[in-house]
Amino acid sequence: SRLFRIAIDGPGASGKSTTAKLLATKLGFGYIDSGAMFRAVTLKCQQQNIDLKDQEKVKQVAQSARISFPALDQVEMDGKDVSNLIRNSNITRNISHVASNMGVRDILADQQRAMAKGDIPGANSTGFEHNGRVVKGVVMDGRDIGTVILPDAELKVFIEADIKIRSKRRYDELKNKGALGSDTLQDVQKDLEARDLADRTRKVAPLLKAQDAIALDTSHLTIAQQVEKIYDMVYQRL
């Protein structure tokens, strides 16, 4: 069988993870949410009252954290389900300290590359048959997957969307979850812009379109259309 790795990068609320999950299901591939790993490390630091600016301590936390993906929509850390906890705005607002920590990135990069090879149960895939051959694979989304983590991925997609549209999507998502609090649409947009700026301008592994990535603007696409477009890209490359 052959291995087909799909790297999906892009800014926050661009529809990466929703698209990646549906695509993985459709292809019978594993899905790895790299952002969830940075979120889990941030959560563990907060639980242990560790100063996020203390690079050495935060790195040690990353080293000790056992992060896994037992199911498509599930994230586990140290044996506990943290799927909902890591989406807290307290995490999102402070994550850039962890994401710009080189030691943390190195540790998570090793784990992400191992998972992409299928070494970790959560990333196991059954794949699909094509011309009498089984194609197995993985969909990984994040900020630096196509540039740093899997520079030789079989397919790289860079998702973009208008900031107003991304803000509205994130606002609706938080509202539906009952996690909006007292935030207005403007607050959500401000948070997204601040996180994008931090992701794009940090020194280590900034958010950047890989040269050989295909740009996909999802501003005026439905989720189903996004999935279909990337699905077609996969078949064009088989």
Note the residues at the interface with ligand C5P (CB under 6 A): 12, 34-35, 38-39, 95-96, 99, 142-145, 195, 199
CA–CA gap between residue 224 and residue 44 (Å, rounded):
35
**Minimum CB distance to ligand C5P, residue 34 (Å):** 4
Q: Which is nearer to ligand C5P, 38 or 69 (CB)?
A: 38
3-state SS track over 159-193: EECCHHHHHHHHHHHHHHHCCCCCCCHHHHHHHHH
Rounded Cα distance, 32 and 231, in Å: 17
For residue 236, the minimal CB distance to ligand C5P (Å) is 25
Q: How far apart are CA 88 and CA 97, in angstroms?
A: 16
Nearer to ligand C5P, 76 or 144 (CB): 144
CB of 201 to ligand C5P, least distance (A): 11
* Residue closer to ligand C5P, measured from CB, 92 or 125: 92
Residue (83 or 96) nearer to ligand C5P, CB:
96
Beta carbon nearer to ligand C5P, 95 or 210: 95
Residue with tokens 């995490």, as numbered in its chain: 91
Q: Are 103 and 32 in contact (CB under 8 A)?
A: no
Q: In whole angstroms, how close is the CB of 49 to ligand C5P at the nearest point?
A: 21
CB of residue 65 to ligand C5P, shortest distance in Å: 14
Torsion of CA 137, 151, 206, 142, to 10 degrees: 0
- The tokens describing 80, both together, are 């506990």
